[in-house]
Homo-oligomer: A and B are copies of this chain.
Amino acid sequence: MGFTKKHIFDEQQNQIANFTKMIGHPARVSIIQYISQNEDSNCNNLVKAIGLAQPTISQHLAEIRKTGLLKQTVKGKNLYYSINQDKLNECRRLINDFFVKTQVNCSNTVSSLK
Chain A interface (Cβ within 8 Å of chain B)? Answer: 4-6, 8-9, 13-14, 16-18, 20-30, 32-33, 36-39, 50-52, 82-83, 85, 88-89, 91-92, 95-96, 98-99, 101-103, 105-106, 109, 112-113
Contacts and interface: CB of A to CB of B under 8 A. Distances in A.
B99 A38 contact: no
A109 B82 CA distance: 10
A7 B48 CA distance: 16
Given A13-B30, A33-B101, A37-B105, 10 more contacts: A8-B51, A9-B27, A9-B30, A14-B26, A17-B23, A18-B24, A22-B24, A33-B105, A39-B109, A88-B99
A110 to B, nearest CB: 8
